[in-house]
Amino acid sequence: MARPPDNSLPHRLSTGRFGPLILLFMRYGPPRWSRYIRSQWTGSRLVIAVPYLWLLLFFLVPFLIVFKISFSEVQVAMPPYAPLFDWVEDARRLIVTFNLNNYLFLLTDDLYVSTFLYSVKVAAISTLICLLVGYPMAYAIARSSPAIRNVWLMLVILPFWTSFLLRVYAWVGLLKNDGVINNLLLGLGLIDEPMSLLYTDFAVYVGIVYSYLPFMILPLYSNLEKHDLTLLEAAADLGARPVRAFLSITLPLSMPGIIAGSLLVFIPAVGEYVIPSLLGRSDQLMIGRVLSDEFFSNRDWPVASAVAIAMLLLLVIPIMLFQRYQKRELEARK
Amino acid sequence: MKSNGWFRGLALLVGFAFLYVPILSMIAFSFNNSRLVTVWDAANSPTLKWYRLLFDNEQILGAAWLSIQIAAMTATGAVVLGTIAGLVLARFGPFRGRALLSGLTTAPLVMPEVITGLSLLLLFVSLEQLIGWPSGRGVLTITIAHITFAMAYVTVVVQSRLAGFDDSLEEAALDLGARPARVFFSITLPLILPAIVSGWLLAFTLSWDDVVISQFVAGPGSSTLPMVIFSKVRLGVSPDVNALATIMVMIVAAGVVLSALWMRHQERRREREMRMARAAEK
Amino acid sequence: MATQNADRGGAAPSRHVDRAREYVRIEGVTKKFGDFVAVDNVSLTIFKGEIFCLLGGSGCGKTTLLRMLAGFEAPTSGRILIDGQDMADIPPYDRPVNMMFQSYALFPHMTVERNVAFGLEQERLPAREIAKRVAEMLEIVKLGPFAQRKPHQLSGGQRQRVALARALVKRPKLLLLDEPLGALDKKLREHTQFELINLQEQLGVTFIVVTHDQEEAMTLASRIGVMNRGEIVQVGTPTDIYEYPNSRFVADFIGSVNMFEGTLVEDEPDHVRIESAELGGVIYVDHGISSAPGATVWAAIRPEKIDIDRSPPADPRENCVRGVVKEIAYMGDLSVYLVRIDSGKMVRVTLPNIERHADSRISWDETVYLTWHPTSPVVLSQ
């Protein structure tokens, strides 16, 4: 039987004016449906291209630019950094100014190293506290009756919908020297003079835990809810006390939820800016604030870029762990 | 296990107290006449003074309006892009570059905002140098930045919803003669509509609330509400902010409660219909 | 050589099968998923107007084959022709084929009417025509009063009828059914089986049904294709498959069977004798088979073809064995006897309960003699 004339769209396009360009574009692997939608090839490729191009341009390329500028030198100019590539017209040469000064600066200057370490420490402790607060809540919600469960979840999510900034602000009012907590304690006679709660590490921990609690509770709940309760019954039948059953069965099974929740809190917490600005110490800054200061106050874009890249390097492993967890969750859902 | 019923109750009590006491205290003190906010001026309180002042405050009202506009545009853009990305990742089989797309859509979920903000600002500056667009920073750059990070959330929500129901419905539609585009609009889209709506609301909230990224990519004259609030509260507490917070909390609470009631009503009706069908069968 | 599966047509209840008109031809179709071979070089011909059943256990490849017919998977090699047209590269929405999914796949946000109309809307028919055909089809499946309901308001049986109506309203040349009766309870299943057959005869559509349920296959099909591990092992009418299986697999897969291994001691054109240690005796079969003397063969005898008696037959040397009744399962309409013969093997015998009173029936631990007619055993060499 003779092969019918190829009247499909890609073929028609590829023999047109932009033929070679189209053929190049089509070389990048067919989506599943194209196995039988040959004529729709360009259609589904276009669909994939739209968000892809956006993210490439507005998410990936910016990182590359940051990377590039981190190797450059600061200049009093607009923009305030020396160009990396300079085409010298008459000499017909390309001068590449590429230096690691900014990174060396970061590594050798005490300020940056201690700031990094401090940020990681604060984020880690906050994550731990958040876990200790969030796990019992998630557990309690998962074990409550299905009818009331949705009410609890709604109550957990409700603060998240109100402004994050305002909720952090609320703690300023609670923690300051003439704030609610101090007034209460003074009024009850438990202390003689106000405790210095604000502008301390403690205040930052509270702020982070408070703001990120829904991010810890939801993945934990999502995991705990799927647990097969008959496993605990079997454990009890075999003689295990509730605490033992929890440690041997529930806790290990909830590990994926613990990891997901912890990553969801830890990674953004390292780079937190608003919370330390409103609640934190002024003598020891977190890295997010340092980056911002380098950029806005010092107008040193290259160093700020180097700080950003250094932060990324620090966080790249947790980020990849998180993405691996996300993928597994979605596949399990199928 | 009844033995730890008291523990569960305690956990919930303490947890929710922790979550809500700050908000409630903020609301309470919005009616306090004293400028010190947390020192209750019993003689002159409660008062609506701060609310009245709020409505006369041009700066705040202007910033609020700007924020609403940006948030609406962001939400719409994020929903369009995020739904497409979610659809591609959930329904399209392997294609070259899929891993990268998957990574690009989930990274913004955890990326610290200072990094995203800085990188986007540098992008806009470089683009302006290169091709003259965007000329200066303002509403457009803020919106683009917000769409970029908000779409990640929408993608996750849509992708998760799509993964939840199998594709036999879409295959049935293909089998009945519908082309892929028609399948999407007639079958897939109506079924993921709840996810899209919650994605829109989520993106709106994220944009409405954003401080850090806005600070990086905003320009002179385009101050969003969070930026205004932030610069105010850096200096200390401010009672009109309490009033503003109360209004926002009330709006959100009303919205959440209404939507929960609506969903419960829908579910009850569905259950009733299913019960009727089963009874009729007998 | 095995006894070939002859297509002894006409043994099944009569259907309007146009044997001359070949409708679907599957030529050497293979489907691989990576290294895993789901469908292995399958060739099959299906005739217009017949109900063809693909029967097999899970993982045998029958669903994959069906999906290739529908267009959701493409064969790794080989081709599929429907009504003479090669289906390569033709997407599901351009094929003259419709499918009824195992889960029914009804669109939950549309009413019954809109669900059924969906396929017609894709054909761009005028609205009045669509409404007419939808109403007609709903009448045929007896769902007229339910037209405005949504799927979650219907019972399982009703949903199945909607799925059927939705597929049939497009008047496809070929209808594919994936485990159509799987989700229904027993009574409903029987009722629906006959409804399906009537519908098919009324509309004259060719059906291809995929199922793991033998009863379903035997009731519905005009021909059955038994599949195992990606291959078609036998094709024939239900009678062919049941009475003339071509292998131990098929004999064992359909219904129950007693299998006796033995050696061919006499091989004549008109009869054979098999000596079986498993049986503890000789089996005499009254037709010739194509095998060499001395070959190892298996004699398959169905339980209903064995006679059970307290007294020995006239000539107990052949086609007879003595045993003790060990188990009796009373099924109401028949009784199943498990008899342990002298060699230790358990033989399964079924007898209809002709008499109501139990007194004269054979009971446990009785010594009995099992006999069968020389035409009853099927001799298998694979």
CA–CA gap between residue A268 and residue C167 (Å, rounded) = 52
Average pLDDT of A10-18?
51
Residue B116's pLDDT is 92
Mean pLDDT of chain B: 87
**B158 falls in which pLDDT band (50, 70, 90)?**
very high
**C215 falls in which pLDDT band (50, 70, 90)?**
confident
Q: Pick from B11, B26, B82: which is nearest to A136 by CB?
A: B11
Closest CA of chain A from C90, distance in Å? 6
pTM, whole model, 2 decimals?
A: 0.80
CB contact under 8 A, C123 and B177: yes
Asked if A132 has any chain B CB less than 8 Å from its own CB, the reply is no
Instruction: Give DSSP secondary structure letters for C327-353.
Output: EEEE-SSEEEEEEEETTS-EEEEEEE-
If you ran DSSP here, which 8-state letter would residue C318 be given? B
For the segment C59-115, what is each residue's pLDDT rounded down to a tens digit?
Answer: 899 999 999 999 998 999 999 999 989 998 888 888 999 999 988 999 988 999 999
Q: Pick from B172, B177, B273: which is nearest to C153 by CB?
A: B273
Instruction: Give DSSP secondary structure letters for C55-71.
Output: E--TTSSHHHHHHHHHT
Q: Other CB atoms closer than 10 Å to residue C365's CB: what's the count?
A: 7
Asked if B262 has any chain A CB less than 8 Å from its own CB, the reply is no
Chain C residues within an 8 Å CB radius of B273 = 150, 152-153
Residue A85's pLDDT is 59
Average pLDDT of B49-71?
90
Residue C270's pLDDT is 84
**Residue B274 zone, left/alpha/beta (φ > 0; ψ -120 to 50; rest):** alpha
Cβ atoms of B65 and B222 within 8 Å: the answer is: no
Chain B residues within an 8 Å CB radius of C133 = none
Residue A207's pLDDT is 94
CB contact under 8 A, C108 and B191: yes
For the segment A75-122, what is each residue's pLDDT rounded down to a tens digit?
Answer: 666 666 666 655 555 555 555 666 777 788 888 888 888 899 999 999
Letter for the amino acid at C316? P
Residue C12, pLDDT above cutoff 50: no
The first and second tokens of residue C65, run together, are 């084959």
Q: pLDDT above 90 covers what percent of chain A?
A: 26
Closest CA to C349 of C376, C316, C314: C376
CB contact under 8 A, C119 and B276: no
The first and second tokens of residue A158, run together, are 């409700």
| Burial (CB count <10 Å: 0-12, 13-18, 19+), residue B189 | middle
For the segment C106-157, what is each residue's pLDDT rounded down to a tens digit?
Answer: 998 899 999 999 999 988 889 999 999 999 999 988 898 999 999 988 988 8
Letter for the amino acid at B62? G
For the segment A42-56, what is each residue's pLDDT rounded down to a tens digit?
Answer: 677 888 889 999 999
Helices A146-161 and B239-281, axial angle in degrees (round to 10): 150
H/E element, B210: none
Chain C residues within an 8 Å CB radius of A37 = 91
For the segment A323-332, what is each residue's pLDDT rounded down to a tens digit?
Answer: 888 777 777 6
Residue C19's pLDDT is 67
Q: pLDDT above 70 covers what percent of chain B?
A: 97
Chain B residues within an 8 Å CB radius of C107 = 169, 172-173, 187
Closest CA of chain A from C33, distance in Å? 14
Residue A234's pLDDT is 84
Q: CA nearest C159 in B: which residue?
A: B277
Chain A residues bordering chain C (beta-carbon distance below 8 Å): 1, 35-38
Cβ atoms of B108 and B186 within 8 Å: the answer is: no
Asked if C187 has any chain B CB less than 8 Å from its own CB, the reply is no
CB contact under 8 A, B173 and C167: no
Residue C18's pLDDT is 63
Residue B280's pLDDT is 66
CB contact under 8 A, C91 and B174: yes
CB contact under 8 A, B97 and A333: no
User: Cα-atom radius of gyration of chain C, to the nearest Å?
Assistant: 25
Cβ atoms of A277 and A213 within 8 Å: the answer is: no
**B219 falls in which pLDDT band (50, 70, 90)?**
confident
CB contact under 8 A, B176 and C170: yes
Residue A282, pLDDT above cutoff 90: no
Helices A101-108 and A110-143, axial angle in degrees (round to 10): 80
H/E element, B149: helix B139-164
Cβ atoms of A271 and B112 within 8 Å: the answer is: yes
Chain B residues within an 8 Å CB radius of A331 = 163
Residue B204, pLDDT above cutoff 50: yes
Nearest 10 degrees: Cα torsion C308, C311, C313, C319: 40
CA–CA gap between residue B86 and residue B101 (Å, rounded) = 10
Mean pLDDT of chain A: 80
For the segment C306-349, what is each residue's pLDDT rounded down to a tens digit?
Answer: 999 888 888 777 888 889 999 999 988 899 999 998 888 999 99
Query: Model ipTM?
Result: 0.85
CA–CA gap between residue C45 and residue C81 (Å, rounded) = 10
